Amino acid sequence: MCAHNSLPLYPRSAGQVFLTEVRLISAQRGLSPPASWVETCSCPEGYTGQFCESCAPGYKRETPLGGPYANCVPCTCNQHGTCDPHTGICLCGHHTEGPSCERCLPGFYGNPFAGQADDCQPCPCPGRSACTVIPESREVVCTHCPLGQRGRRCELCDDGYFGDPLGLSGAPQPCLRCQCSGNVDPNAVGNCDPLSGHCLRCLHHTTGAHCERCQDGSYGSALAPRPADRCTPCSCHPEGSISEQRACDPETGQCPCLPHVTGRDCGRCSPGFYDLQPGRGCQSCKCHPLGSQEDRCHPETGQCPCRPGVEGQACDRCQLGFFGFSIKGCRACRCSPSGAASAQCHKNGTCVCKPGFVGYKCDRCQDNFFLTAGGTRCQECPSCYALVKEEAAKLKARLTLMEGWLQGSDCGPPWEPLHILQGEAPRGDVYQGHHLLQGAREDFLEEVTGLEDAVKASREQLRALSRSAHCAQARAEKPCIQLAELDAALESSEEEILQAAIILKSLVIPQEGPGQPTTWSHLATEARALARSHRDTGAKIEATARRALVASNASYVLLWSLVEGRVALQARRELEDRYQEVQAARKALGTALAEAQPEAERVLAAVARDGADAAPRLASLATPAAQPQKSQAGALSLKVQALEKTVASRERRLTEAAGTLQATAQAVLHKTEPLTQLRQEAGAALTQASSSVQAATLTVTGARTLLADLEETPSLTTSWPVLSGYSG
């Protein structure tokens, strides 16, 4: 052994030398025997080192890091490792941990205090997760199962998850989160089956394995972003929906409605219907087409919106005090409150008068009556006036007798009975033609009466036509409206004819000079001709009405079939196909014409040009010198013939194309022929009826003109005083 002294020796005192800071550079065992004089320590248990300055293995300082003079005590590692001699911390083994190896590592379980190498066993948990042992039953329970798993051995899926992690029911399946489309309560327990994953607690009216569709009786989208927009109950109206099919359309929510019921939930009647009843639906309003403003009514009461002066649930009659039911409503009677017995008038507007009142509106007193001071009634004139009435009655009786004699058919003197009645001898110069004028008046009255009857008959026929055309159900169809307007016009004409007849009956024909044509005779002749014309017009109206009735019935059947949809779709498709064919044929014809036109123009120009060139050539053929050109003329003739054939072929193609187009158009027109014919017949009926109304108006105008002419005749004021003198 070699030692190196790095510092000098310093004498401490006399006779002493010390060696300090010696560094051993190298050392090796020498060949000489060990020195016996070297000091060696004998350490107690738990200590080691040359000077027993260290703790032996398995021991530690009683005070951690207490230095070489701290006591050494046995390590407390439960036989699972050694400890650090200075700090006392155990270096654990056997799957233990802790300052004293007093617990098993995570993922292991057991009793580390037994001091055996197999005290800690691996946990039977997925992924070597932590576990523990229940002291009472010594059962191992996993305490840190993976996400989505639970159970003593993590053999089950946690709430909100499904699967079979340990394969207890088949092949192992990892636990997955339940897919319920967001239609479950996240705070609820048992939302889905832990094995199959089928959702068990679907919300928002959803159903399905994943709550992906709406329940029966609900509609909407189960996958809508907002819960409020998801499935909604159908809530079908119990009275308006079909009881056997309360479920609605899963997308639109439309419930199956009873007849004439509408609305998503079948909760109201369709327009034109009312009175919703379970199992039956709604019934038709049946609003009158003339009296109601529209074909809709109150959905509960069925009351239709009536025109002015019209009443009734269906608006089918005039109110009390109104008349003239028409498309414009009813007109007010305006009966005099003091003279009319009732506020209601007749169909022609005349009021029912109290005794003593007369006039259309009962607004004046009759003859021999006067209005009282209060204006509430008409009082008969005093009894002294009875004598005047008696004489007037006698005079009226004589006048009636005279009219009967004047209307006789004998050719004798008409005034002979009157002269005998007056006590006078007959004269030979008496005018014998006055009865002709009187007869003309009676004939005219008869014709006017016949015209009035014809107008009434026409009105009855129009009403029968309206009933046959089902105008009460057809509501405001145009033919029904026209028939109603025509009936109103005929009614007005009837009133005017009645007024004219009353005026004519009150006229007295004056006696004029014999053998002289008068305005009266001319008007009487015109009246006869006009009456005959009206009779003919009435016959035409009757025939037209019959044709209109037949056409109306055909129209009703056709329109009903169209409404029911039996032929509408097929006819529409056929018409659309025909229209497409016509359009295609028209385009083809236009294309053919466009293609043929330049060719035809070119051929025509060539023919004209060749014809112009051929004229002098043919003329030159007459000379002997032109014989060599005969061959050229023949070739030109052949060319002309070829051009003619080409033109003929083009014309034939154009003719065939035009024929095809015409046939197609005729086929399309044939489909609409019934409707066109019906429209023409209705128009003809309207024209005939309008002509009848105009003729009646002309008759009334003529009667008024006749009245004015008679009032202006001076003889009216000169003849009647003579008659009065005779009667006195």
Q: Cα separation of 430 and 514, whole Å?
A: 9
Question: Which whole number is the average pLDDT over 547-557?
Answer: 60
Residue 718: exposed, middle, or buried by beta-carbon count in 10 A (0-12, 13-18, 19+)?
Answer: exposed
3-state secondary structure of 675: helix
pLDDT, tens digit, 9 for 90 and up, residues 144-202: 899 999 999 899 999 999 999 888 888 889 999 999 999 999 899 999 999 999 999 99
Q: Cα separation of 674 and 655, whole Å?
A: 29
pLDDT greater at residue 270 or residue 626:
270
pLDDT greater at residue 140 or residue 630:
140
| Residue 306 banded pLDDT, cuts 50, 70, 90 | very high
Which of 15-19, 282-286, 558-562, 683-687 shows the lowest mean pLDDT across its residues? 558-562
C-alpha distances out from residue 582 to 574, 589, 658, Å: 12, 10, 11
Collect all residues with Cβ–Cβ distance below 8 Å to 233 and sequence separation of at least 6.
Answer: 205, 217, 218
Q: Cα separation of 28 and 325, whole Å?
A: 150
Q: Cα separation of 178 and 193, whole Å?
A: 9
Q: Specify the CATH number of the domain 333-380.
A: 2.10.25.10
pLDDT, tens digit, 9 for 90 and up, residues 317-335: 999 999 999 889 999 999 9
38-121: CATH topology is: Laminin (2.10.25)
pLDDT, tens digit, 9 for 90 and up, residues 365-385: 987 788 887 778 888 887 766
38-121 and 333-380 in the same fold: yes
Which of 30-44, 159-173, 457-471, 658-672 shows the lowest mean pLDDT across its residues? 658-672
| Spans of all domains in the chain | 38-121, 234-284, 333-380, 440-509+519-552+677-728
pLDDT at 419: 45
Q: Cα separation of 400 and 727, whole Å?
A: 13
In the predicted structure, residue 705 carries a pLDDT above the cut 70: no
Which of 26-30, 78-82, 212-216 shows the lowest mean pLDDT across its residues? 26-30
440-509+519-552+677-728: CATH topology is: Four Helix Bundle (Hemerythrin (Met), subunit A) (1.20.120)
Question: Which whole number is the average pLDDT over 194-214?
Answer: 92
pLDDT, tens digit, 9 for 90 and up, residues 685-697: 556 655 555 655 5
Phi, then psi, of 25 in degrees rounded to 5:
-80, -45
- Rounded to two decimals, what is the model's pTM? 0.37
pLDDT greater at residue 558 or residue 224:
224
pLDDT greater at residue 664 or residue 31:
31
234-284 belongs to CATH 2.10.25.10:
yes
Hey, which bits of 27-135 come out as E strands? Answer: 47-48, 54-55, 59-61, 72-74, 81-83, 90-92, 96-97, 103-104, 108-110, 120-122, 131-134
Q: Cα separation of 182 and 210, whole Å?
A: 9
Which of 394-398, 463-467, 511-515 shows the lowest mean pLDDT across its residues? 511-515
| Residue 480 banded pLDDT, cuts 50, 70, 90 | confident
| Residue 114 banded pLDDT, cuts 50, 70, 90 | confident
In the predicted structure, residue 8 carries a pLDDT above the cut 60: no
Question: Which whole number is the average pLDDT over 637-665?
Answer: 66
In the predicted structure, residue 292 carries a pLDDT above the cut 90: yes
For residue 635, the surrounding DSSP H or E stretch is helix 630-712
Show the tokens assigned to 34: 């060990």
| Residue 417 banded pLDDT, cuts 50, 70, 90 | very low
Phi, then psi, of 561 in degrees rounded to 5:
-65, -35
* DSSP code, position 316: -
Which of 166-175, 464-473, 662-671 shows the lowest mean pLDDT across its residues? 662-671
Phi, then psi, of 54 in degrees rounded to 5:
-120, 160
C-alpha distances out from residue 67 to 41, 59, 62, 70, 586, Å: 18, 14, 10, 6, 122
Average pLDDT, the chain: 74
pLDDT, tens digit, 9 for 90 and up, residues 11-66: 455 566 666 777 777 777 778 887 777 777 889 998 998 888 899 988 999 888 88
3-state secondary structure of 425: coil
Question: Which whole number is the average pLDDT over 57-82?
Answer: 88
pLDDT greater at residue 686 or residue 605:
605
pLDDT at 610: 61
pLDDT at 549: 62
Question: Which whole number is the average pLDDT over 394-422?
Answer: 59
pLDDT, tens digit, 9 for 90 and up, residues 505-518: 665 555 444 445 55
Q: Cα separation of 295 and 298, whole Å?
A: 10
Which has the closest alpha carbon to 248: 265, 262, 273? 265
